[in-house]
Amino acid sequence: MTKEEFFKVIESKSISSNLVHFENSVADGYYVLKSYHRWEVFYRERGKDYDSVGFPSESDALEYLFKKLVKA
């Protein structure tokens, strides 16, 4: 799954794209970031990171996050 596909799919499910960030910032929400040799997905709230999970590819990370957002 590419970023473009990810955003199309979450928008089709009425999930705001503002919940997901691809650059490190202080905003609350879900993050998909490249970290050394893997991709990480985590939730940031009030400056603290929660539930970090690593993946070998960005595509795997996006699929995981999509499933997490749809389930929530």
The number of distinct structural domains making up the chain is: 1
pTM of the model: 0.89
Domain that holds residue 62: 3-71
Model pLDDT for residues 31-67, shown as the tens digit of each residue: 999 988 999 999 999 999 999 999 999 999 999 999 9
- pLDDT, residue 72, reads 63
What's the maximum distance between 2 C-alpha atoms anywhere in the chain? 32
The model's confidence at residue 25, banded by pLDDT at 50, 70 and 90, is confident
Q: What pLDDT was estimated at residue 30?
A: 96
pLDDT of residue 13: 93
pLDDT tops 90 at residue 2: yes
